[in-house]
Amino acid sequence: MSAIAAYLRRLGIDVPPPPTLDALFLLHHRHLERVPYENLAIMLGRPPSVDAVASLERVGELGRAGYCFHHNGALEVALRELGFDVSRRHGHVWTDEDDRAGTFLNHLVLHVAGLPTLGNPGGEWWVDVGLGDAFREPLPLVVGEHRQDGFGYVIDDVRTDGWSFRHDPTGSFAGIEVSSRPTEPADVLAAHAELSAPGTGRFSRVLVVQRRYAGGTATLRGCLLTHVSLGATVETELATWETWRAALDDLHLPVADIAEDELRGLYDRMWAGHLAWRAT
């Protein structure tokens, strides 16, 4: 079975869809529902490849991708093979205004063109399945607030070389600056090496699993599970191995290929870190 066929099967799509807007929305929905954002392999000391084809194959085979470089890299390959006009952009995720002007490549952005609608006559769309707890549907590259499931996402500037984005206030980050800076495989690989570096990398400190579903978001950070839906935020402390392990299943994270003792060891580390965080 080809990588694209296995990917589509993972999404529950039997026949390759045509490159239409409806198909783009379907792929976006299904990917987010069935393939969570996560850094499990990094936390286990085995950072997965950021090669786009390898990421697509991993989703089809295991149902796991990784973080944004993996998710959007895989989707880019799939969209191109299905006939969409897709290209990548440089993304810089920021959490405070001091970092907004940063230029570090910490997010891979996908741009799809040629699909005009009444509300988006230019036909340009921001497609992104690697943001964890952000938008569930592709965003039109149109300045303004875009509401989905009670969340508000703002594109406040669209330029010839990119755009600016502000996340919903409940989100895990503040915004993204999108530009035309380099996103060649070597650039992504170098950024991945820094982001996943043991002990110092952003994705090597605490387990994060996020799932965006119809109506809300779910985030596991260490041993704290947070659901945001209908304007309400509910936090649950996962104080036992059993509740933590069940949460992985609820977040649709496949772990059948990972030894239980290795997962238990990760839980013990996360619980110790959670107790230290709670004490402060």
> Which of 90, 107, 192, 252 does the annotation list as catalytic?
107
- 171 HSE (CA, 13 A, CB side): 25
Residue 271 domain-assigned (yes or no): yes
pLDDT tens digit string along 247-270? 999 999 999 999 999 999 999 999
Domains in the chain, number: 1
How large is the average pLDDT for residues 5-12?
98
Query: Is the pLDDT assigned to residue 8 strictly greater than 90?
Result: yes
**pLDDT above 90 as % of the chain:** 97
> Which of 28, 31, 51, 68 does the annotation list as catalytic?
68
- Are 90 and 78 contacting, i.e. CB atoms less than 8 angstroms apart? no
- Are 8 and 14 contacting, i.e. CB atoms less than 8 angstroms apart? yes
Residue 91 domain-assigned (yes or no): no
Q: How far, in Å, CA of 205 to CA of 212, rounded? A: 22
- Are 167 and 127 contacting, i.e. CB atoms less than 8 angstroms apart? no
Query: Is the pLDDT assigned to residue 84 strictly greater than 90?
Result: yes
Residue 34 domain-assigned (yes or no): no
- Are 128 and 86 contacting, i.e. CB atoms less than 8 angstroms apart? no
Q: How far, in Å, CA of 63 to CA of 56, rounded? A: 10
Query: Is the pLDDT assigned to residue 74 strictly greater than 80?
Result: yes
Residue 1 domain-assigned (yes or no): no
Position 265 scores a pLDDT of: 98
Residue 26 domain-assigned (yes or no): no
Query: Is the pLDDT assigned to residue 1 strictly greater than 80?
Result: no
Residue 259 domain-assigned (yes or no): yes
CA nearest to 239, candidates 263, 204, 272:
272
Q: How far, in Å, CA of 247 to CA of 68, rounded? A: 21
Residue 14 domain-assigned (yes or no): no
- Are 279 and 232 contacting, i.e. CB atoms less than 8 angstroms apart? no
Q: How far, in Å, CA of 68 to CA of 52, rounded? A: 11
Query: Is the pLDDT assigned to residue 88 strictly greater than 90?
Result: yes
**pLDDT above 70 as % of the chain:** 100
Position 103 scores a pLDDT of: 95
For residue 176, the SS3 value is strand
pLDDT tens digit string along 99-144? 999 999 999 999 999 999 999 999 999 999 999 999 999 999 999 9
How large is the average pLDDT for residues 207-216?
97
Band of residue 231 on the pLDDT scale cut at 50, 70, 90: confident
Q: In what order do the strands lie in the sheet with 125-127?
A: 139-140, 125-127, 107-113, 85-94, 175-179, 162-166, 151-159, 144-148
Q: What share of the chain is helix, strand, coil (3-state, %, to 5)?
A: 35, 25, 40
Instruction: Compute the mean pLDDT over every residue in the chain, rounded to the nearest whole number.
Output: 97
Residue 221 domain-assigned (yes or no): yes
One-letter amino acid for residue 61 of the chain: E
Position 139 scores a pLDDT of: 98
Active site residue 68: yes
Q: Which domain does 268 fall in, by range?
A: 208-279
> Which of 51, 128, 133, 168 does the annotation list as catalytic?
128
Active site residue 92: no
Position 176 scores a pLDDT of: 98
- Are 232 and 146 contacting, i.e. CB atoms less than 8 angstroms apart? no
Active site residue 128: yes
Position 33 scores a pLDDT of: 97
Q: How far, in Å, CA of 143 to CA of 265, rounded? A: 46
